[in-house]
């Protein structure tokens, strides 16, 4: 355990050094996270990274603020896609509004079909105002489209959900969209902005984040607890539009 911990720290530092990126957390471990969501969010966009933070919270002090426009429960039900009148969706209750959100080390913007809504002006304004105040911005799935709508992805490189690609990239005409990445790390400015591809890829980004800013051992243990086989190479995307498509069934 001691050896693995040392190895983890070494590899994390090596990873930071080799990438030439300054540590936005100045050697401390990020503690305060904000999970920003909205009506018709995607469940795993939230609960994939959250499960990782839940396990991480047994090893470090981690606080997640669940942030939405009001404190009312927010349903994941899409407004337009439910032609069979299925009942499969749940609600998530915010702990904070966009007006009461605490200081954050990391802001996570999730995706889901609702990110296209014309009624998210206050949420988009929150992303615009909050991003310069956090140490790291993470987007999951089409959350990068929502971030793009706020302008914070202008001049940045990013990726998004592959099935939604053509519609999402229109939200960021000044963003360099990279279609063949499992996730993208833009460390060119402050804060760094990391964007994942669709849904499950948010877990890969988050585990990589744990490996980078906590320890390799933490990331490995969480992956093992979740019995999740990580994709560790951001450049190897099995769902890339111009690369392979999923034929495994």
Residues that bind a second copy (CB under 8 A): 42-44, 47-48, 50-51, 53-54, 56-64, 66, 73, 76, 81-93, 95, 161-163, 197-201, 211, 216, 219-220, 223-232, 238-239, 245-246, 248-249
Q: How far is the CB of 121 from a second copy (least distance, A)?
A: 26
Query: Minimal distance in Å, beta carbon 139 to a second copy?
Result: 14
Tokens at 225, concatenated = 């607890």
Is residue 124 within 8 A of residue 145, CB to CB? The reply is no
Burial class (CB in 10 A: 0-12, 13-18, 19+), 88: exposed
**Residue closer to a second copy, measured from CB, 123 or 201:** 201
For a second copy, give the closer residue by CB, 15 or 151. Answer: 15
Nearer to a second copy, 127 or 205 (CB): 205
* CB-facing half-sphere around the CA of 86: CA atoms within 13 A: 11
Q: Based on CB atoms, which residue is closest to a second copy, 174 or 232?
A: 232
User: Which sign does the torsion angle of CA 200, 197, 222, 109 carry?
Assistant: negative
Whole-number Å distance between alpha carbons of 234 and 90: 31
Cβ at position 135, least distance to a second copy in Å: 18
Identify which of residues 184 and 219 has a Cβ nearer to a second copy in the complex.
219
CA dist., res. 239 & res. 197, Å (int): 9
Positive or negative torsion for Cα 51, 34, 141, 68: positive
Least CB distance from residue 38 to a second copy, whole Å?
Answer: 16
Q: How far is the CB of 128 from a second copy (least distance, A)?
A: 26
Q: Which two tokens stand for residue 238?
A: 């099995």
């Amino acid at each position: 355990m001691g050896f693995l911990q040392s190895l983890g720290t070494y590899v994390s530092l090596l990873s930071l050094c080799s990438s030439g990126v300054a540590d936005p957390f100045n050697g401390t471990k990020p503690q305060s996270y904000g999970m920003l969501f909205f009506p018709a969010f995607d469940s795993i966009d939230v609960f994939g990274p959250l499960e990782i933070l839940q396990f991480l919270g047994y090893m470090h002090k981690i606080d997640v603020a669940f942030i939405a426009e009001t404190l009312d429960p927010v349903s994941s039900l899409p407004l337009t896609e439910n032609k069979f009148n299925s009942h499969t969706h749940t609600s998530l209750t915010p702990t904070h509004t966009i007006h009461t959100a605490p200081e954050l080390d990391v802001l996570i913007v999730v995706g889901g079909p609702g990110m296209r809504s014309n009624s998210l002006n206050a949420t988009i304004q929150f992303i615009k105002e909050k991003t310069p105040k956090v140490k790291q911005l993470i987007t999951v799935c089409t959350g990068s489209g929502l971030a793009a709508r706020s302008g914070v992805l202008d001049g940045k490189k990013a990726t998004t959900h592959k099935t939604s690609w053509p519609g999402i990239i229109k939200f960021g005409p000044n963003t360099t969209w990279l279609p063949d990445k499992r996730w993208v790390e833009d460390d060119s400015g402050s804060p760094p902005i990391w964007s994942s591809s669709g849904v499950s890829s948010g877990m890969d980004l988050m585990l990589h984040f744990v490996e980078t800013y906590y320890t390799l051992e933490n990331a490995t243990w969480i992956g093992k607890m979740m019995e999740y086989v990580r994709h560790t190479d951001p450049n190897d995307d099995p769902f890339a539009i111009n690369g392979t498509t999923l034929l495994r069934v």
